[in-house]
Structure formats: structure tokens, C-alpha cells
Amino acid sequence: MVDEDRLWRRWQLAPLVSQEGHLTVVPSMQLLTALAELHSHNSETSAVAAIRQLKTRLNEWAKPFSCDIKEKTIAELCRVHKNCPDLTATLPQKKRVNDKTHVIDLAAADANDRIVYRFAPADKPNSKQRTVIDIERAKDVLTYGINAQNQIVFIGATHEDNKDRHPIPIRVLTGVDGVYLVANATDTLLRFGRLQPHQDKIIAFVVVLMTLIFTVFNTIFAHILSFGFLFIPLFIWTFYQLHQGIVIDIALYSLAIQIIQILVKVVTQLLKFWTNNRVLKNKAVSL
């Protein structure tokens, strides 16, 4: 899903589609891949059973709804129709993949889930730069084959003529091929589950604290104080929260603080101008 700045940061977890006059839930490729990967540690059939059970539960719930309803997502339907059944998908813990079990409630989830980007083409394709994924050419795979055991394989066109390029936060100018969106979204789901937004009270606390620092102290000392005692701990804490599946955007804090700081300066200058102008008028009257 494209944001307002034309960057791809989100993907649809389980969209609703119309089929034969009623609604049907189509679990995304990323969700099905995560279920297959995380449920396959027990037996070969457990992953198939988990996927089949999820699709059955979702479609039995969605089938009574006609295609002309106003609600377009599972969450919107469940907010209007209060009798929603269990619409959760369980992503179990698996060694070397994730360290905790994630339970995703599709009835409460946002229609568009965040992507944490980790995979992208190398800056210099012909260099020996190490990457966290292996990229194989289709010709070489057909000729020599590959060992795909215990690996997730994504098949996609990555040549320049495919017209499937999308700008992402870590490749704004050049963009990446569509297969990288699927790979990164799947990786996000495997490692973090569904990313949750941070609480508004955290933003309020940080903004108020930073505003007080820049109001009480001079600019240079305030920057040193805020960087050493707030931004560094906040930066470390951000990574910890991301590991727990919570997204915190430090840029929002900085932007809010800068706006408040500018407003404080403008108000101060206006008050100073108004006070000086009033003093001059009083002096003129006394003369």
C-alpha cells in the first residue's frame, strides 16, 4: 500500500474480496508463508492443517455478508457486527526464526500492516558485498539447481523491463522490485508478528519533557542534554520495543518538539514586541 509520500510501507494482511455474490477473505501470501514456515516444525501436515483451518473459519464468517456492504475490511465489519467469532491466526515460536508466539487478531488488526525493511538489492550488484538473502538467476537455477531445504524461496522478476519498481524508505530514488516487498513483509511477520502502534501517552511525555528542556536551558546545553539523556536511551528503547512488535517513530517526536520550539520563540518575540511597543507609547504620552 502506497503512503502519501509515494513510499511503500504497508501491506494488506487479509483483504476482503467479492466472490459469487458474497464476501470472501483472501489471506495474503505473506500470512500463508508465515503459517507454513512456523507450523512446519511439528510435521509436514500440521502447516497444511493450520492454513486450512484458518481459511475455513474466515470464509464461514464472511460468506453471509453480501458484496454491497459499506465496510471494506474485517476490522470494520466486526466493529459494526458485534458477533464476530474467533478470527485469530497463531504464529508459533520457532527456533532461529522468532523467540515468542504471536497471536494476530484479524478482527482488531488494521487493514494495512507495517513493513520493517531488511532486504534490498546491493548498492553495487557486482561487488562482493554480503547480503542477508541469496539472489539466484533463473537461468542458473534451471541449469544447476539450488538447495532450498529449510529456506523460503521467493520467485519474482527483477530485470529492468518488468516495470515492477516501487520506492521504499531505504531505496527512495531507485526503488526495488515487487518481490522485495513480499519478502520484507513476510520477514516482518515472521520476526515481529503484527506491529502495534505505540501509545499516545509516550509521545505526550517525551514532547512535554523536551519542551521543558528547551524552555529552561539555552539552545546548546539543551541539545546536549536532550541527546545524552533522552535521545540515546530512546533510540535503544526503540529497538527493544520493535523486537516486541511495537513501532516507535522517533522522527515524530523530533518534529513535534521542533514545531513547539518554533511556536514558543514566535510567541516570545510577539510578546516582547508588544511590550516594547507599549512602553514606547507610554513614554510618548508622558512627554
* Tens-place pLDDT, residues 89-126: 888 888 888 888 888 888 876 656 788 888 877 666 56
**Stronger pLDDT, 82 or 240, i.e. the higher one:** 82
Q: What percent of the chain has pLDDT over 70?
A: 68
pLDDT at position 285, please?
52
pLDDT at position 75, please?
85
Under the banding of pLDDT at 50, 70 and 90, the label for residue 257 is: low
Kindly list the domain boundaries of the chain, sorted by start residue. Answer: 1-119+130-194, 198-286
102-109: long-range contacts at Cβ-Cβ below 8 A with a sequence spacing of 24 or more? Answer: 102/192, 102/193, 102/194, 102/245, 103/193, 104/13, 104/193, 104/194, 106/13, 106/14, 106/25, 106/58, 106/74, 106/75, 107/74, 107/75, 107/78, 108/75, 108/78, 109/13, 109/74, 109/75, 109/194
In whole angstroms, give the CA distance from residue 70 to residue 210.
43
CA atoms within 13 A on the CB side of 12: 14
pLDDT at position 81, please?
78
pLDDT at position 76, please?
86
pLDDT at position 140, please?
84
**What is the tens place of the pLDDT at every residue in 42-75?**
556 788 888 899 999 999 998 988 888 887 888 8
Under the banding of pLDDT at 50, 70 and 90, the label for residue 77 is: confident
**What is the tens place of the pLDDT at every residue in 183-225?**
888 988 888 888 766 666 666 777 777 777 777 777 677 767 7
In whole angstroms, give the CA distance from residue 89 to residue 104.
5
Residue 252: pLDDT above 60?
no
pLDDT at position 40, please?
80
* Average pLDDT score over the chain: 76
